[in-house]
Amino acid sequence: MSIPSSSWPAESGARAKRLADALSPTSLSLLQVVADEAARRGLPLYLVGGFVRDLLLGRPATDFDLVVEGDATALARALVARHGGDTILHNRFGTAQWLLPDTISPTGHSSLDLISARSETYKHPSALPTVRPGSLADDLRRRDFTVNTLALRLDGEYFGELRDDLGGLDDLQRGLVRVLHQRSFEDDPTRLFRLVRYEKRYDFEVAPETLALIPESLPWIKKLSAERLRHELDLILEEDNAAAMLKRLAELKILAEAHPALAVNLSIRRRVEKAMQVLPGERRAFGWMLWLMHLSRPALKEIESRLHFHANLRDALFAASRLYSSRDSFIGKKPGQYVAVLDDFPLDSVRAVYLAMLRGEARRTLHNYLETWRHVKPKTTGHTLKKLGLEPGPRYQRILHLLRDAWLDGEVTSEEEEKRLLEKLV
């Protein structure tokens, strides 16, 4: 995809206006507070990376990546002294978090991260980096792709000045995703997943020389920890274009290196697309269930041993797999029988299997359960049974279930009929 160069203002003033238009007045005011303090202290301050990339693409940009060429912790302390709030300092990494005072917090931000420009080195492939103080040029060179190396200066008279050391603007205009050096994937194999995420999110192309590096970089994926690998897949499943991203990961053999059972075909992609029907905050969990529900329990256990899912997601995955494999059994039974079975499954697992099914009686059954049947309750309660002289115990639950099933199956249609049935049961 090629984007016209007219999309990128050439002058600092025009870029400053683009920034002002993209932010709410309160967010812009917050940035100005930080920029003014940085200017007073002679500290160059930049917006770097994804925010600038999305700003220049005309896409929503919200998360600030603020880099200080100098001591970010000193800037944070100065902001607290002048405006209030508090700080959390990470001197080892030269980063600080400014906890905003009440006078500023209405911006919608409760805190703001400030990062000292730094350089990074890797002791061995796939290791977390060793961080040292550095210049902005060092900080830009440590990043993953050229389109994420653009920096927009904020302090003083330099407001709106664009820093482009590594050709990021040209690649952004041409719609290319390009790594900064040949060992980029070796240093950090998670970049293989981000490469595909950016390619499909923006409808970009991978630069040919970057694409050529992928086959020899695949073995490094096995060095990734479960947490880092799962995090990259989590992020993909939250994307609007997750199904296309998974397809591309499979084509490039990246998924197979992560785990052989993480396959993707047309049927799976269609299922994953259904995750777009749930709320954004639910996409990750539903994406995993829709992706993997066809797998057997042993196969899921193998994947879980590699990715270490959180307990709730793990349980939901196993439940969705069990329900999906038995979906054909939901034919020809009474509603009460269906409800007795489905009540033992996590509700989200039932919802996921329902989304995965295209048509048929089993799908109608799950729809009825989700929309109507699970809400049916008898008029009788435990308090009613106690008044009738029954001792509390398992019998309570059995009687209430029988009454509910009678309503579900049409054997009881009024409160008076329920009372007569209750008398027989008691």
Please state the length of the chain.
Answer: 426
Statement to judge: residues 190 and 135 lie in one domain: no
Same domain, 324 and 401: no
- Give the pLDDT confidence score for residue 216 in this predicted structure: 96
Beta strands in 39-94 (DSSP E): 45-48, 66-68, 86-90
Residue found under tokens 């796939």: 126
Q: Is residue 230 part of a domain?
A: yes
Q: What is the pLDDT at residue 373?
A: 95
Interatomic CA distance for residues 255 and 269, integer angstroms = 14
Task: Quickly list H helices, 276-371.
Answer: 283-292, 297-307, 311-325, 335-342, 347-356, 361-371
User: Last residue of some domain: 155, 174, 193?
Assistant: 174
pLDDT at 130: 73
Q: What is the pLDDT of residue 120?
A: 75
116, 166: one domain: yes
192/170 same-domain check: no
How far are the Cα atoms of 191, 294, 306 from residue 302, in angstroms, in the given order?
Answer: 24, 14, 7
pLDDT beyond 70 at 127: no
In this structure, the answer to whether residues 29 and 139 fall within a common structural domain is: yes
The Cα 340–Cα 290 span in angstroms is 24
Question: Does 49 reside within a domain?
Answer: yes
| Residue where the block lists tokens 């054997």 | 411
* Residue of 153, 43, 133 lying closest to 90 (CA atoms): 133
- Bridge partners of residue 120, in order along the sequence: 131
Residue 46, token pair as written in the block: 């930049």
pLDDT band at 10 (very low <50, low <70, confident <90, very high): low
Question: Does the pLDDT value for residue 260 go beyond 90?
Answer: yes
Higher confidence at residue 387 or residue 137?
137
For residues 211-215, give the mean pLDDT. 98
Cβ-based neighbours of 340, under 8 Å, separated by 6 or more: 401, 405
pLDDT value of residue 335:
93
Global pTM value: 0.88
Mean pLDDT of the 210-219 span: 97
Domain boundary among 174, 209, 225: 174
Maximum mean pLDDT: which of 199-203, 326-330, 386-390, 395-399: 199-203
Q: How many folded domains does the chain comprise?
A: 4
Please check whether residues 184 and 322 belong to one and the same domain: yes
Q: Which of 88-97, 268-277, 286-295 has the lowest mean pLDDT?
A: 88-97
Residue 394, pLDDT above cutoff 90: no
- Maximum average pLDDT range among 54-63, 84-93, 146-155: 146-155
Out of 20-24, 25-29, 70-74, 303-307, give the one with best mean pLDDT.
303-307
> Is 346 inside a domain boundary?
yes
Residue 168: pLDDT over 90: yes
pLDDT at 287: 98
Q: 9: domain CATH number? A: 3.30.460.10
Predicted confidence at residue 126, as pLDDT, reads 59
Please say if the pLDDT value at position 11 is more than 70.
no
Alpha-carbon distance values, 287 to 27, 194, 320 (Å): 32, 18, 12
User: What's the pLDDT score for residue 6?
Assistant: 44
Domain's final residue, options 329, 347, 363: 329
Q: Is residue 377 included in any domain, yes or no?
A: no
Residue type for position 319: A
pLDDT at 69 over 70: yes
Q: Are 306 and 270 in contact, with CB atoms under 8 Å apart?
A: no
pLDDT at 2 over 50: no
| pLDDT at residue 4 is higher than 80 | no
Of residues 111 and 148, more confidence is placed in: 148
Please tell me which of 99-108, 128-137, 302-311 the model is most confident about, judged by mean pLDDT.
302-311
Between CA 84 and CA 78 the distance in angstroms is: 9
Residue 362 shares a structural domain with residue 216: no
Span 9-35, mean pLDDT? 81
102-111, 208-217, 369-378: segment of lowest average pLDDT: 102-111
Confidence of residue 265 (pLDDT cuts 50, 70, 90): very high
Calpha distance 423→405 (Å, rounded): 16
Six-digit token string for 268: 């799976």
For residues 211 and 295, membership in a common domain is answered with yes
Interacting residues of 322 by C-beta distance below 8 A, sequence separation 6+: 297, 345
Whole-angstrom CA distances from 154 to 54, 75, 275, 354 are: 17, 14, 39, 50
Asked, for residue 137, whether it belongs to a domain, the answer is: yes
Q: Residue 239: inside a domain, yes or no? A: yes
**Which pLDDT belongs to residue 108?**
63
Inter-residue contact 202 to 57 (CB < 8 Å): yes
Residue 107: closest CA among 28, 185, 170: 28
Q: Which domain holds residue 339?
A: 330-372
Q: What is the mean pLDDT of residues 262-291?
A: 96
Buried b (16+ CB within 10 A) or exposed e, 328-340: eebeeeebbebbe
Q: What is the mean pLDDT of residues 383-409?
A: 86
Residues 119 and 183 occupy one common structural domain? no
| Number of alpha helices (DSSP H) and beta strands (DSSP E) in the chain | 23, 11
Instruction: Show the tokens assigned to 342.
Output: 């489905």
Phi-psi sector, 374: left (phi>0), alpha (psi -120 to 50), beta: alpha
